[in-house]
Structure 1
Amino acid sequence: MADNITLSAAVRQNLLTLQSTADMMSGVQNRLATGLKVNSALDNPNSFFTASGLNARASDLTNLLDDMGQVVQTMKAADEGITSITKLVESAKAKANQALQTQSQYERSKFAKQYNDLLQQIEALAKDSSYKGKNLLGGEGNNLTAIFNEDNTSKLTVAAVDYTDTTLSTGLNLTDLAEAKGGAASFQLEGGASSITLTDGSGDALGSGSLITDFASITAGDVLTLRTAASGGGSAVATLTVTANTTVQDVVTALDGVAGVRAEFDETTGALSITSNDDVFLYNSDDDNGGTAAPTDLVSVSTANFTASTQLLTGSASFTAGDILTLEDGNGYELGSYEITAESTVADLVDFIDDFNGVSASFSTSTGKITIESDTDLSLTSDNAEDFAASAFGSTTGVTINAAQDSGFATDNEINAVIDRINTALSNLRAQASEFGTNLSTVEIRQDYTKTLINTLQEGAGKLTLADTNEEGANLLALQTRQQLASTSLSFASQADQTVLSLF
């Protein structure tokens, strides 16, 4: 007897239907769970491999899209750097224009230094404009390449420019300006005074119109000499041969005409006063009219260094009341002026000079010298040519200081040349910004296109492999109904077989 259990045809058919329905329900449930109608090559080889290719390309483009995003950020960093550098260059131009609006060499030297500081900031900003180690403002080795497709046949190379060194002719071509280096000069203040009383034989004071021969020690034919050393030594700086018509005023005029010497006559007392910046001696060098007698010392002036409290009018033969001293720089820009009065002292003069920016003055009691230091070219002049007599016997027009180096903004021509270079640099910056802007726009357009293409590829792959959840849901409901009906049919078939039992 066989061991197999025999089923009726009806039961077997219903079992097969239930099994088939269960298999279809499993497939529908899998599609609903995965969302895919093609999960492997076994489901649909053509759709599976086509979709895989589309998804692979979409994945490659997604990686490129990430790279494009970093390229965009690198270019934005460079663009922001150029924007800031442009503002700094415009600030440098403003400094040049400010320098052009003043003639003061000191102010111009300060603007030149500020200009140099701005160039340093430009270089520092350019160096800081990198993103992930790539700096489009850093020059060589920083070119940037954006790749747009999988085989690298579509790409854009953005050339870097070097702004980390403003002097480069291929960049901004802006060089640092020379910064002012000062100089110094000094002049000595010394002097002394002495006098002689001119009277006639009766002891009455002579007047300025009196004949000098009325003075007992002088006769016609005598030679009066102003010399630089005692006992008739040194150089003769003034000589006057006395005639019968020579007056006291003639003598005063001859002495007063010597640089560094001031002669004054008092009509009341008959006193002839001589003030000199250096030692001088008035001699009657030919009082016997034959040149054989020893010179007669009439007046001796011995000088000494000034002190800070020495009054300029009483101590020096150069200064006179009302003299105007003027400080000017190398451009003729007047720093200030000072009027000599009867109360003016050495300290007052030093304070006047020392009061200006970029200028310092000091007085040495031991040497009697005023030393002036200036950051720029400088001159101290007077409307009285004798105020700055180098000595009693030679005058200069004033005290001049030649700076060791003038600033790069010292003259209008130099400033205008700098402004021209700045204008060129600004044009180059704007052109470079435009180029970067065009490249950035191109990359962003390709970025948007790549996003769309990736979506298209993924959508195409989805159409080949994605399941229709609505349809699959309906299928599952239908299969569940079929399963229930098949179960019912199996029950009916089983009941038909059970009728045999009624025979027993």
Structure 2
Amino acid sequence: MTGIVLSASVRQNLLSLQSTASLLATTQNDLATGNKVNSALDNPTNFFTAQSLNNRASDIGNLLDGIGNGVQVLQAANSGITSLQSLVDSAKSIANQVLQSPLGYSAKSSITSAAITGATANNLLGTTGTNATVTGTAVNNNLTSAVAITSATTLSGAANTDSLSSAISTGDTLVVNGTTFSFVAGSTSTGTNIGVGDTVAHLLSAIDTVTGATTASSVNSGKITLSTGTSQNLVISGTALGKLGLTAGTTNVGPPALSGETLTINPTGGGTATSITFGTGNGQVSTLNGLNAALAGNNLQATIDAATGKISITTTNDEASSTIGTIGGSATLSGAAFNGLTPAAPVADPNSQAQRASLVAQYNNVLAQINTTAQDASFNGVNLLNGDTLKLVFNETGKSTLSISGVTFNAVGLGLSTLTAGTDFLDNASANKALTTLTTASSTLRSEASTLGSNLSIVQIRQDFSKNLINVLQTGSSNLTLADTNEEAANSQALSTRQSIAVSALSLANQAQASVLQLLR
């Protein structure tokens, strides 16, 4: 080959033809692959930049699977919350049935006062009572004289005839409404020490001071009459009674009025202790409406018998299963309107309680479904309603993440507990208590649904962002490496034409040598 000598024109045309063939081969390769940069030799900068962009796009694309799974985990949890909300609403419906059921007791706990003369709904205090009196006998106004009693009126109202065996003497006593009057040597009165030589008038005056008598005690026609203050009973005793023609005992003034009396009632069920003062003063109670307002906080209500003036206090329907708390105050003392009263326990209605026990069973079944639904709300092993945590990675470096903490939304986690027949749903209060916890659970579910919705929105936005970013990266890579087919097709056509021309030029360059060859022939 080294012995072959080509003319300059032939050699130039040959080089041009070789260059054109190389360019044509490259163009055809670009058209075949669609890329103008197929290796680092084509364009090192574009090739490696495009490769980096494609690698990042691939890495983010791999993360999309995890993001997609995260979306499904959130949707599974959201679906679970929707079902739990429906179950809670079902439990509410059962509790509301309790409120609409017949009262679970044929009789509620109650107390009823003694008759109060003149008491009405607008005036619980009643009419003012009269003062109590008791009458004995004396023949003169001197305590030291022995007297004959011909007509003694005893506390029991019985008349008798006695003889006074002896005069009042030192050491004798007379007890009036708890105050003891002692007879001592001497003829003057000092406080509750009465001189045996003193006058009956002084004794009666001292007694009136203690009782607050509105009508003075007196001696009329030889008879001693003791009197008390308004609506106050008269209680007497002592060793001097027989000498005055009196008998120990109590004279009642009849049904007492309530003015000035107090009534306390310990907490009933979940109520607040009640303290009532009857009267017309500030903060005092004188009407049925006022009494009911005072009793409301202790789950109690009152009624009055218009015929007798008796006041009845009973538990409300909400606390029908409760017994009225222990009562106290001056209104419960001896002779008072509420004396000797012990609140009666409620009497259960078997049929109604059986119905309520059935509702308890239904309620517990719903709670069991709440537990299983919360356990089943998982996707790919992750359950955001059973305490699991979902962690999502959004970029190839692992620095862009989102952690979503799960919750425990079984019955206990929602603050709900199973009920016991015979203990729960006995009255409206227990049903209302269940409704309160269910309402709280419903609010908790709504709050978590909002949180999940917010997180789902974030994840979906990041999912769309990752898809768009992958497209941007791949587009950028393509811009660096992809060939313009129109341009390459035009180049191919031009190179083909150039190649044809080069072949023709090479042929012309060889014509001179062909002429020499013709001469040699």
- For the superposition of Structure 1 and Structure 2, which TM-score range results when normalised by the shorter chain? 0.5 to 0.7
1:174 aligns with 416
Structure 2 gaps, min length 5: 103-351
Q: Which amino acid aligns with 2:467?
A: K
Change (3 A) 1:81 1:3: closer
- What secondary structure sits across from 1:156 in the alignment? strand
SS across alignment from 2:101: coil
For the residues of structure 1 that align with 2:17 and 2:453, how far apart are their CA atoms?
69
CA deviation string 1:407-452 (max 9, x = no partner) = 5212111110000000000000000000000000001011111111
Question: CA shift at 1:61, angstroms?
Answer: 1.1
1:119 aligned residue: 367
Is contact 1:146-1:155 (8 Å) kept? yes
Tell me the alpha carbon deviations over residues 324-369 of structure 1, each in whole angstroms, 9 at most, x when there is no partner. Answer: xxxxxxxxxxxxxxxxxxxxxxxxxxxxxxxxxxxxxxxxxxxxxx
Matches within 5 A, 1:452-471: 452-471=468-487
Tell whether 2:350 aligns with 1:105: no
* Cα deviations by residue, 1:115-173 (Å, 9 ceiling, x for unpaired): 1111111111111111111111111xx1001111222222111111112x312xxx201
Equivalent residue number for residue 440 of structure 2: 424
For residue 410 of structure 1, the aligned residue among 404, 426, 429 is 426
Matches within 5 A, 1:368-447: 406-447=422-463
Q: Does the 8 Å contact 1:61/1:150 carry over to 2?
A: yes
Summarize the alignment of residues 168-317 of structure 1 with structure 2, pairs less than 5 Å apart.
171-178=413-420, 180=421
- Whether 2:511 is the aligned partner of 1:495: answer yes
Partners of 1:446 and 1:464 in 2: CA distance: 27
How far apart, CA to CA, are the structure 2 residues paired with 1:148 and 1:441? 14
- In structure 2, the residue matched to 1:396 is none
Structure-2 separation of matches of 1:28 and 1:437: 54
Rate the CA distance shift 1:38–1:408 in 2: closer, same or farther, 3 A.
same
Mapping of 1:313-328 within 5 angstroms?
none
Conserved in 2, the CA contact under 8 Å of 1:99 and 1:415? yes
Secondary structure of the 2:510 match is helix
Give 1:448's aligned residue: 464
Task: State the partner residue of 1:299.
Answer: none
Paired with 2:478 and 2:368, the residues of 1 have a C-alpha distance of 58
Residue in 2 that maps onto 1:472 = 488
Aligned partners of 2:36, 2:28: CA distance in 1, in Å?
11
Q: Is residue 2:394 matched to residue 1:148?
A: yes
Q: CA deviation at 1:495?
A: 2.3
Whether the 8 Å CA contact 1:100–1:415 is kept in 2: the answer is yes
The one of 127, 131, 134 equivalent to 2:382 is: 134
Aligned mates of 1:14, 1:3 — CA distance in 2: 19
Q: Output aligned runs, 1:338-377, within 5 Å.
A: none
Structure 1 residue 9: Cα displacement:
2.2
Q: Secondary structure at the match of 2:52?
A: helix
C-alpha separation between the residues in 1 aligned to 2:507 and 2:89? 96
Question: How far 1:88 sits from its partner (Å)?
Answer: 0.8
Match of 1:160 in 2: 406
Question: SS of 2:500's equivalent?
Answer: helix
TM-score by length of 1: 0.52
Q: CA deviation at 1:3?
A: 6.5
Note the C-alpha offset of 1:493: 2.0
Counterpart CA distance in 2 for 1:483 and 1:176 is 93
Q: Aligned residue for 2:43?
A: 44
Q: Deviations over 1:150-205 (max 9, x none)?
A: 22222111111112x312xxx20100111x3xxxxxxxxxxxxxxxxxxxxxxxxx
Runs (4+) of structure 1 exceeding 3 A deviation are none
- The residue that corresponds to 1:65 in the other structure is 64
Aligned match of 2:75 = 76
* Residue identity opposite 1:144 in structure 2: L
* 1-structure distance, mates of 2:94, 2:365: 11
The 3-state SS of whatever aligns with 1:4 is coil
Partner-residue secondary structure (3-state), 1:17: helix
Q: Secondary structure, in 3 states, of the residue corresponding to 1:157? A: strand
Q: Distance in 1 between matches of 2:2 and 2:50?
A: 52
- Matched residue type, 2:441: A
TM-aligned CA deviation for residue 99 of structure 1: 1.8
Cα deviation, residue 48, structure 1: 1.4
Deviation at 1:12, TM superposition (A): 2.1
Residue 166 of structure 1 aligns with an amino acid whose one-letter code is A
TM-score for both structures, normalised by structure 2: 0.51
Q: Distance in 2 between matches of 1:502 and 1:20?
A: 31
Amino acid at match of 2:59: D
Q: C-alpha separation between the residues in 2 aligned to 1:143 and 1:46?
A: 44
Could you tell me which runs of 5 or more consecutive residues in structure 1 were left unpaired when the two chains were aligned.
181-405
Alignment deviations for residues 467-487 of structure 1 (CA, whole Å, 9 cap, x no partner): 111111111111111111111
Q: With CA pairs under 8 Å and 6+ residues apart, which has the higher RCO, 1 or 2? A: 2
- Asked whether the equivalents of residues 112 and 407 of structure 1 are also in contact (C-alpha less than 8 Å), the reply is no
3-state SS of paired residue (1:31): helix
Equivalence for 1:304: none
